[in-house]
């Protein structure tokens, strides 16, 4: 029995809704086929974008969407993607499969997608192969209300009013695919480029600098020291690799042992150490926490599905992925005083996707269901949940068995999300609730009899949330039991 204590008056801050952000890169079948099918497609679409995908994503209340990359961003020249579709320049996607891009999905299409999803745009600008002038003109094209060559061109291309652009990333992974730069060099480039990411009219841009790869703490030190006063956010990228090895097999998405299950969660929980250590450096230069930590690439990265293009990063999505998502989100809530945005990689058909498509078919992944269950935490107040997790042990190694978070929303509903990481042990819970007596309780759980259970186009509902039995006693005690390998969400109304 795990004993928890929750006093709903013990508020530790606000959980930004942007922690539930998404990421859509020009990679594999994410944009083309996954989102964009073209206006002449037999697949039902609105202005060229799949209606079924848009409808499914709208249910998640996505707060922010990052585009066009990723590594693609630092080879993307935005002017190739505006104007009449049949006149747009074609390009080769050098990073992802060497395929040809027709640029039919560009700035106008992306910002229209954001309108359809009712989400805020987060655009990554090109530092690696672009110019200051190019970046300055892109911001002007999108946000200037008035007369200028770029604003006039936007109007000629069918958009009279400027868009609201909330977030702008000055480069991406400039330590790697974005130019193999040293932090000292990139810090100077950031200072230079960000100067020309201007605010026009009432539009206020939240500027995000390229941050570290995983545990490169030197990068964070240099960026905060040299440019922290000029940024609103600093990114961090970390992926869970089941094998922990970038150089050979990362591990299969659907065929894994119990030991590989355990290692996956051990590697996932390393995210907390990264957050703590990078935050400590940021605190040194920014004790008031004005600069947000932006974890704009995270998720599980496995080997691609057999028979698919290795450059398309198409992988299946199982119960394991769902719990990886739940664990990470619970962590991000815990450090919400510093983490202001997170963007899982990626939204459709790539890496840890919400949705997989094949022709006119669509399936929702277990990760989609976790984001749906967890969306109750968006813009809620974090409650300090007190508990001690038992250990989950495999051989000589141990990790916490339980990951949990709690919050109170603006309607005074209390939300509890919990992951049981153990592959074979259920767990009973007793949670003492102070300061709140619910009129109703709703519980859901996502689990399956096999660890690698996943949805397919033949069986699209192999794994979906089901009801969870929860009881509440007069003494304020909430009791429930979680099966092994499960994610649960409980709401007290």
Active site residues: 173, 297
Beta bridge partner(s), residue 209:
170, 234
For residue 281, cis peptide bond before it (omega within 30 degrees of 0): no
Residue with token string 């942007």: 18
Q: How many whole angstroms separate alpha carbon 49 and alpha carbon 111?
A: 12
Q: Are 66 and 23 in contact (CB under 8 A)?
A: yes
The DSSP code sequence of 262-314 is HHHHHHHHHHHHHHHHHHHHHHHH-TT--SEEEEEEEEE--PPPTTS-TTS--
Q: Are 424 and 451 in contact (CB under 8 A)?
A: no
Query: Rounded to an integer, what is the distance from CA 83 to the centroid of its chain?
Result: 30
The DSSP code sequence of 203-220 is ---EEEEEEEETT-HHHH
Residue with token string 């299950």: 261
Tell me the backbone φ, ψ of residue 387, rounded to 5 degrees. -165, 160
**Degrees, nearest 5: CA angle 444-241-402:** 35
Tell me the backbone φ, ψ of residue 410, rounded to 5 degrees. -70, -15
Reduced to 3 states, what is the DSSP secondary structure of residue 442?
strand
Sign (positive or negative) of CA dihedral 148, 150, 152, 154: negative
Cα–Cα nearest to 175, from 221, 131, 213, 140: 213
Residue 72 per-residue DSSP state: G
End-to-end CA separation in angstroms for the chain: 25
Q: How many whole angstroms separate alpha carbon 301 and alpha carbon 314?
A: 10
**How buried is 90 (Cβ within 10 angstroms: 0-12 exposed, 13-18 middle, 19+ buried)?**
exposed
Q: Which tokens hold the place of 319?
A: 């119960």
């Amino acid at each position: 029995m795990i004993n928890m204590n929750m006093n709903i008056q013990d508020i530790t801050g606000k959980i930004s809704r942007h922690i539930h952000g998404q990421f859509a890169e020009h990679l594999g079948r994410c944009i083309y086929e996954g989102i964009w099918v073209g206006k002449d497609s037999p697949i039902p679409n609105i202005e060229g974008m799949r209606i079924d995908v848009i409808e499914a994503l709208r249910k998640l209340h996505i707060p922010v969407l990052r585009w066009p990359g990723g590594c693609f961003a630092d080879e993307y020249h935005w002017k190739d993607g505006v104007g009449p579709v049949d006149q747009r320049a074609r390009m080769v996607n050098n990073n992802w499969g060497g395929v040809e891009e027709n640029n039919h999905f560009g700035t106008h299409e992306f910002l229209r997608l954001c309108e359809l999803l009712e989400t805020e745009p987060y655009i990554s600008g090109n530092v690696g192969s672009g110019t200051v002038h190019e970046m300055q003109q892109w911001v002007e094209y999108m946000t200037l209300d008035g007369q200028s060559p770029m604003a006039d061109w936007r109007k000629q291309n069918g958009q009279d009013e400027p868009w609201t652009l909330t977030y702008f990333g000055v480069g991406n992974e400039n330590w790697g695919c974005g130019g193999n730069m040293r932090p000292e060099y990139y810090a100077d480039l950031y200072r230079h480029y960000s100067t020309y990411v201007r605010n026009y009219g009432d539009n206020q841009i939240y500027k995000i600098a390229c941050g570290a790869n995983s545990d490169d703490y030197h990068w964070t030190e240099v960026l905060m020291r040299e440019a922290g006063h000029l940024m609103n956010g600093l990114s961090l990228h970390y992926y869970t690799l089941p094998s922990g090895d970038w150089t050979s097999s990362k591990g299969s998405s659907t065929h894994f042992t119990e030991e590989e299950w355990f290692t996956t969660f051990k590697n996932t929980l390393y995210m907390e150490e990264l957050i703590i250590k990078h935050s400590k450096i940021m605190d040194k230069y920014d004790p008031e926490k004005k600069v947000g930590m932006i974890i704009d690439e995270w998720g599980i990265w496995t080997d691609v599905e057999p028979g698919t293009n290795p450059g398309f990063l198409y992988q299946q999505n199982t119960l394991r992925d769902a719990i990886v998502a739940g664990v990470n989100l619970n962590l991000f809530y815990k450090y919400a005083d510093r983490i202001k945005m997170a963007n899982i990689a990626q939204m459709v058909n790539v890496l840890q996707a919400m949705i997989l498509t094949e022709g006119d078919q669509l399936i929702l992944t277990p990760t989609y269901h976790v984001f749906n269950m967890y969306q109750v935490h968006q813009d809620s107040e974090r409650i300090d949940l007190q508990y001690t997790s038992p250990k989950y042990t495999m051989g000589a190694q141990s990790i916490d068995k339980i990951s949990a978070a709690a919050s109170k929303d603006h309607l005074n509903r209390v939300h509890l999300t919990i992951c049981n990481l153990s592959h074979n042990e259920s767990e009973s819970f007793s949670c003492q609730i102070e300061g709140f007596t619910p009129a109703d309780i709703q519980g859901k759980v996502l689990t399956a009899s096999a660890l690698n259970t996943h949805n397919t186009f033949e069986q699209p509902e192999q794994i979906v949330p089901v009801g969870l039995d929860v009881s509440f006693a007069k003494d304020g005690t909430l009791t429930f039991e979680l099966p092994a390998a499960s994610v649960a969400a409980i709401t007290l109304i």
